[in-house]
Amino acid sequence: MFHTLALNKPRSVLTVFLFVSLAAHAESPSKAGDQAARPMMLMPEGKFLPGGPLAGYDLPVSPQNTGDGPEVQLFPGSVEHWRGYMMKYVPMRSFFDVQSLLKRWVLADLPDAPKDRISDYASPIYKVPKNSMATPTGEMLPPVKVLNMGPKDAPLKLDLGELPVGLYALRMIGAVPTDKLRPFRLPLVLCLTINDGPDGEVSTYRIRAGYVDEFYNPKSRSWEFKARVKPANFPG
């Protein structure tokens, strides 16, 4: 089951000052079909960490924080967890957050989302100690609407709009029910078809994704692609 698709433009030493103020964000994530607005509109009082735009915004602590760190809220309304091993010792943050976010789709809110595949999902809460395994608390976070997706379900179709030349990441944020987890995971394969070729040629990307029963976006659940000369869009 998946909650969010996010389109990000990675920060780098060469591009951060060119694209940070131009990055776009959904004006009202809860409304279907919302298009881009600048992240500065969401964070008019945004304060940068020491180091300025390259270091990123000083983000608030996530309401989903479950252990030492703490986790930060990557963008307003986010259900996503992000943790790194060393964050129990030093501050860490995701490479993708409100500063790099261009567009966001809440899948259950899409106008053409199949109603019979929409359900509520309450993510379990785990305690994440500093030097031992995460343990379930038996508590749950408030449920959110998700779109259930299986191997035989029809693919989603989204319009990314016209993208300037550059490198982009499309990130899938989702979870798998606890009773479907096992020590050796069953394979989860995600497929993206996009016309990102120099002359509009269509490319297909397949990734084998990791998963847990909380809302995460592991590296293996992101597609990275380049927008070259022609605009990049989903043909289907």
pLDDT 10s digits, 85-119: 788 788 788 888 988 899 899 999 989 889 999 99
DSSP string, 104-168: EEEGGGSTT--GGGEEEEPPEEEEB-SSS--EEEEEEPPPEEEE---TTSPPP--------SEEE
What is the value of pTM for the model shown? 0.76
| pLDDT tens by residue, 181-221 | 998 989 888 888 988 888 888 899 888 888 899 998 866 66
More confident residue, 11 or 128: 128
Domain ranges of the chain: 2-227
**What pLDDT does residue 76 have?**
87
Handedness of CA 148, 153, 159, 164 (dihedral sign): positive
pLDDT in tens, 31-71: 333 333 333 334 435 688 888 888 888 888 888 776 666 78
Q: What is the chain's mean pLDDT, rounded?
A: 76
**Confidence band, pLDDT 50/70/90 cuts, at residue 124:** very high
